[in-house]
Chains A and B, each alone.
Chain A
Amino acid sequence: MKAIDRVLAAREKDRPKITDYMDNVFTDFFEQKGDMLGKEDASIYGGIALFQGRPVTVIGHRKGNDVNENITCNFGMPGPEGYRKALRLMKQAEKFNRPIISFVDTPGAYPGLEAEAYGISQAISGNLAAMSSLKVPVITIVTGEGSSGGALGLAVANRVYMLENAVYSVLSPEGFASILWSDSSRRDEAAEAMKLTAQDLFDFGVIDGIIPERGLYIRVSNVIASALKELDEMSGEELAQERFEKFRSFDEGFLQTGTSARMENV
């Protein structure tokens, strides 16, 4: 399967959505809306649910299942209020010592006028910073498109998994081709060059595992259950420290570590 085929599979309309995971992996879902700062963003879906009888906070991008829902959910492209809502839910999870499970599926944060005016940059950076120090287990599964900072804003987790046909990248292949080659029609080539498949990311050491899609919900449940089992052994401080180390050092293979810094007059 070529990289572009994975991209198209990840974007497939009928691909399982956050609402499907909610129905099939969790029970007793209680939705929480709003950022409590004056806005609600339907492109982020979240709340409290039971996972195998245990309360967890579940958050994910929502694209919607039909045209009307697509529009309400802005095709899964959140504005700042979406990330602020997610942060509110995560902070609450920390307070009540609930693990956080996030599902990533977005073409990116919304590049619109209002999003910029109300601080999409600040909302995303705020999530990245706050998530890095959360004292509860955080597990992320990239289920479809994991595109750009809009994906990462829900994905600073102790364990990050991808479905076998999910993609995770700095930008869409179209955007990449347009920026680097000024030619968005070279999308297929870009998809290949970007190394955005689950296998690529696993090889880079950016994700912890790949979830095959046959028997999807059972596999997803199993992955969450076994990750939780490991993470339950750790204290809050240890969870935060482990997550910090993960994101601090994922790229150390590309850097010489331990070299002493020199200083020079300029």
Chain B
Amino acid sequence: MNVVDERKEKFNRYKELRENPEEVLSPAIKPVAEYTIFDRVKDITDVGTFKEFHFDYPETNPLDFEGYVEKKEELRAECGCHDGIIAGKCKIGGYPVVLAVMNKKFMMASMGIELGETVCKSAEYAMEHKLPLIIFTASGGARMQEGILSLMQMAKTSAVIEKFKNNGGLYITVLTHPTTGGVSASFATLGDITLAEPGALIGFAGPRVIEQTIGQTLPEGFQRAEFLEEHGFVDQVVKREDMKQTLTRILMLHQEVLV
């Protein structure tokens, strides 16, 4: 393939991606499906600064749900993370922060005890060390296999985030595709600053459930990042290629309160 063809192909791919809001461009022009949380960490953080937290959680299966533990074990090997989130300390544009990134490849990053606990422990670490907390959210909602204990994670994470914020902590959320259900209705929407990626689906009820309830198809763009921006629920929609720069600017603007 010659250079011109290659460029043309990239442009076509680019156009295709622009038209399909479910797939958002990365600096490396990777569609969403191929863009891993490790790509994300690499794109966002200063080289070599990310130090991941490991919390040594025991296996949790409160409902003794059949096949649940096996499923998690399988996914751990595949995804390279212990549950649907990784968290750690890093620098962004020279500013030290606590960063958590949710991994939807792991059971849609649904929130169970372990995921909720990681959010809390990250916020508590940030509070103790007076660091900002940045969470890239993506989730299908509650972890059904953990029943009521999964629902209660909404209260747990919200309470800890509230405490962190009341202690003067800076909390930034970046809503990525998709952020729904119990995660959308808890820590994802409590940011001091709320950013969203273009085209990301963000909402409490899933589109299919809403369509069933109201008995009609949803208008185009409904529950997308731009729709939320229009309705006043995000500060800015930020493209992936501009994310690091934007985060750095926000951190810089808060440097007085972060010291």
Contacts and interface: CB of A to CB of B under 8 A. Distances in A.
A195 B120 CA distance: 25
Contacts of A204: 62, 148-149
A252 B202 CA distance: 30
Interface in B146-181: 146-156, 158-163, 166, 181
Interface stretch (B2-10, B50-58, B241-249): B50-58
A166 interface: no
B144 A179 contact: yes
A250 B53 contact: no
Interface string A242-258: 01100110110011100
Contact of B158 (A110, A128, A169): A128
B223 interface: yes
Interface stretch (B25-33, B183-191, B251-259): B183-191
In the complex, which range does the number of interface residues on chain B fall in? Answer: 35 or more
Contacts of B156: 247-248, 250-251
Given A170-B147, A176-B144, A125 B186 contact: yes
Contacts of A113: 210, 214, 218, 222
B56 to A, nearest CB: 5
B198 interface: no
A180 B163 contact: no
Given A125-B187, A264-B52, A266-B88, A169 B161 contact: no
Contact of B38 (A110, A153, A266): A266
Contact of A261 (B38, B54, B114, B181): B54
B121 A122 contact: no
A180 B145 contact: yes
Contacts of B96: none
B125 interface: yes
Contacts, number: 199
A149 B204 contact: yes
A240 to B, nearest CB: 10
B189 to A, nearest CB: 5
Given A169-B148, A256-B56, A261-B121, A195 B162 contact: no
A42 interface: no
B148 A115 contact: no
Interface string A187-224: 00000011110001100101000000000000000000
A51 interface: no
Contacts of A110: 213
B166 A133 contact: yes
Contacts of A156: 155, 158-159
Given A132-B159, A180-B145, A247-B156, A254 B60 contact: yes
A124 B149 contact: no
Given A130-B162, A169-B148, A255-B113, A261 B204 contact: no
20 contacts: A111-B213, A112-B210, A116-B205, A119-B231, A124-B186, A125-B190, A129-B158, A129-B161, A132-B158, A149-B182, A156-B158, A193-B63, A243-B159, A250-B152, A250-B156, A251-B156, A256-B58, A261-B53, A264-B52, A264-B54
Interface of A: 109-113, 115-122, 124-126, 128-130, 132-133, 148-149, 152-153, 155-156, 168-171, 176, 179-180, 193-196, 200-201, 204, 206, 243-244, 247-248, 250-251, 254-256, 259, 261-266
Interface of B: 38, 41, 48, 50-58, 60, 62-63, 65, 86, 88-89, 113-114, 116-117, 120-121, 125, 142, 144-156, 158-163, 166, 181-182, 184-190, 202-205, 209-210, 213-214, 218, 222-223, 227, 231, 233
